[in-house]
Structures are given as C-alpha cells and as structure tokens.
C-alpha cells in the first residue's frame, strides 16, 4: 500500500521564472499521478528566479536562482534527430 493516496490531493501546481526584465514561458506537464516535467523557455539571458507554487502558496525549498547564459533552440526533424 502506498503511503499517500494522491487521488485525494487537489489543487493547482504552478511555476514562474522571472528574468531581469522578462518572464520566461513555463509549462508544467503532468507525467503520471505524482510527477511533472517543467519546461522553461527563457526570453533573455541573465539571472532568473524560479518559483514553484501549490494553490498559490510557495512550495518550501522550490524558489531557486538560475543563470541563463544563452538560449538554445532544439528542433526535431522528421527522422527524430536533434
């Protein structure tokens, strides 16, 4: 038996990544009942602050400073090569 019944947990998980003058585009993708993948598309280089919230409350330990040195664009071609 699992220690938690995650089906009983309700609420909204959100992410925000704020740069010097622009906010990065963040997308949370639910993978299964308890995991998410966070995709961040920064719009500028420099220092960013990443915040994760649950029901609009900061999740303890999940406010991080990031430094974006350069933005990278990855395009997948029809042969699934990157």
Q: What tens digit of pLDDT does each residue of 21-65 get?
A: 999 999 988 887 678 888 888 899 888 999 989 888 988 888 888
Q: Domains along the chain?
A: 16-82 (2.60.40)
14-19 mean pLDDT = 92
Residue 28 contacts residue 38 (beta carbons within 8 Å): yes
Q: Is the pLDDT of residue 6 over 80?
A: no
66-80 mean pLDDT = 61
Q: How far apart are the first and last CA of the chain?
A: 41
- The rounded distance, in Å, linking the Cα atoms of 75 and 32 is 26
Q: What is the pLDDT of residue 20?
A: 92
In 3-state terms, what secondary structure has residue 8?
helix
Tokens (6 digits) for 2:
């699992």
């Amino acid at each position: 038996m699992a220690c938690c019944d995650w089906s009983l947990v309700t609420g909204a998980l959100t992410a925000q990544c704020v740069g010097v003058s622009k906010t990065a585009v963040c997308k949370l993708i639910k993978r299964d009942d308890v995991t998410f993948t966070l995709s961040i598309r920064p719009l500028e280089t420099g220092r960013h602050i990443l915040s994760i919230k649950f029901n609009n409350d900061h999740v303890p330990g999940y406010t991080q400073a990031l430094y974006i040195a350069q933005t990278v664009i990855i395009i997948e071609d029809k042969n699934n090569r990157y």
